[in-house]
Structure 1
Amino acid sequence: MSPEPVEIGTPYGAARVTLQRGTGRARALLLLGHGAGGGITAPDLAVAARAANAVGVHVGLVEQPYRVAGKRAPAPAAQLDTAWLAVVEAVRAGELGIDKRGRLPLVQGGRSSGARVACRTAAEARSRAVLCLAFPEHPPGKPEKTRMPELDAVDVPVLVVQGRTDPFGCPEPGPDRDVVVLTGDHSLRSDRAGVENAVTDWLESLLAS
């Protein structure tokens, strides 16, 4: 039976978090956000959550308020970031029924737009690391409109998992930034085993350090 999502109030309406518990002793909490026009059932999010659970990481799949309200068009970036940080604060306060003392390390991430939110809010959320699935380096066909400053500003370890033919581009590795390039496009559907292996290896290394 699927877990019941928890609604969390934000300044822009209710967000929703679906908790998937890790196996064995809890080692960390990973919050994952969805893409601009998609939801938390995206294949790469499902694979990443499964990989995290297998290594003892609880996963909270976060639905932004605009999605909870049934809207397809995403909210402005500032609203997305504010709502995300409200969710982080609520989760740290124990609203998911886990980690009520705030002892678990927080890792945050998401796919596409959700990855951008995770990068922009990493410092304020005090995230230990950031997981980016299909980070949109630039709009398709417009490399001059780069989003790399958002990624470059993150000063904690980052994993980027990217499709080789992603029309949104492919970030380069950098200090504390690993980039795994897989067969496929922006959906990351073509190599789910590759996504799982990349996330598993990165989390294991991160949590061992």
Structure 2
Amino acid sequence: MSAITVETPHGPSRLTVHLAPDARAVLLLGHGAGGGIGAFDLVTLAAQLPPQGITVVLHEQPWRVAGKRIAARPPILDDGWRPALEAMLARYPGVPLWVGGRSAGARVACRCYDECQAGVVCLAFPLHPPGKPENSRIAELAGVTGPVLVVQGERDPFGSPEDVRAATQEAGGAQPQIVAVPGAHSFNRGAATRVVTAVAEFLT
């Protein structure tokens, strides 16, 4: 494991690299608005995917690196993410770069997706604020033109797997692969095997 500092317009971000020997893919993951890279699913993927040939890189937004408790606004989050994308493309040329994240990190990855990236992994995509389905963020998810995996808790108040499926079908276009796992918005040990299996198979 190694750490890399990447400068952004809003201060330094930090990349923690969990290296796979002879990696066949790189997965860059961002954290959510309420926590950092210590989230259970991010830690689990960083531990279990490298032995399967996938380098996992966990991205910390500048606001987290600076020790702040309140997440930045979406445009600032995007500014904090794009330099990490450029750094990974330069560091691992010729290796497919998959991107994604947990909750708000998944939204950032969707908004910033382009053809230089292989696809997006969304862990607990926050389709809408709890209790406010009218405030949908489906446009961010539907705007990704490449492959998308959504791993969603069965009881997620930000949108169940069924909610995400219905919203993506209504939005039209390419449909994401949706995998339901036990739990709500935060995953735990009961979901670990299904999360790792779903992501590993998606990146194959």
Taking structure 2 as the reference length, what is the TM-score of the superposition?
Answer: 0.90
Query: Residues of 1 paired with 2:57 and 2:184: CA distance?
Result: 25
Identify if the C-alpha distance between structure 1 residues 176 and 142 changes in structure 2 by more than 3 Å, giving closer, same or farther.
closer
> 1:207 maps to what in 2?
none
**Cα deviation digits, residues 101-135 of structure 1 (max 9, x gap):** x2111100000000000000012x72111000000
> 2:152 maps to what in 1?
162
AA partner of residue 60 (structure 1)? V
* Aligned residues of 1:51 and 1:200 also touching (Cα < 8 A): no
Does the alignment pair 1:7 with 2:11? no
Cα shift at 1:20: 0.2
> 2:18 maps to what in 1?
20
Cα shift at 1:71: 0.6
> 1:47 maps to what in 2?
44
Query: Residues of 2 paired with 1:90 and 1:113: CA distance?
Result: 21
> 2:74 maps to what in 1?
77
Q: Kindly, what percent of the aligned residue pairs are identical?
A: 47
Does the alignment pair 1:200 with 2:200? yes
**Cα deviation digits, residues 63-86 of structure 1 (max 9, x gap):** 000000001111110111111111
* Aligned residues of 1:115 and 1:132 also touching (Cα < 8 A): yes
Find the residue that maps to 1:144 and give its secondary structure. coil
Query: Residues of 2 paired with 1:119 and 1:56: CA distance?
Result: 24
5+ residue gaps, structure 1, are: 205-209
Query: Residues of 1 paired with 2:2 and 2:51: CA distance?
Result: 20
* Aligned residues of 1:7 and 1:16 also touching (Cα < 8 A): yes
1:109 aligns with one of 95, 100, 106: 100
5+ residue gaps, structure 2, are: none
Cα shift at 1:4: 3.6
For these two proteins, the number of residue pairs brought into alignment is 194
Query: Residues of 1 paired with 2:112 and 2:134: CA distance?
Result: 24
> 1:120 maps to what in 2?
111
* Aligned residues of 2:29 and 2:58 also touching (Cα < 8 A): yes
After superposition, the CA RMSD in angstroms is 1.4
AA partner of residue 109 (structure 1)? G
Query: Residues of 1 paired with 2:90 and 2:119: CA distance?
Result: 20
Query: Residues of 2 paired with 1:15 and 1:177: CA distance?
Result: 29
Query: Residues of 1 paired with 2:199 and 2:82: CA distance?
Result: 23
* Aligned residues of 1:52 and 1:203 also touching (Cα < 8 A): no
AA partner of residue 122 (structure 2)? C
The 5 Å alignment of 1:55-94 reads 55-94=52-91
Query: Residues of 2 paired with 1:40 and 1:146: CA distance?
Result: 26
Cα shift at 1:88: 1.2
* Aligned residues of 2:89 and 2:97 also touching (Cα < 8 A): no
1:30 aligns with one of 27, 40, 61: 27
Find the residue that maps to 2:112 and give its secondary structure. helix
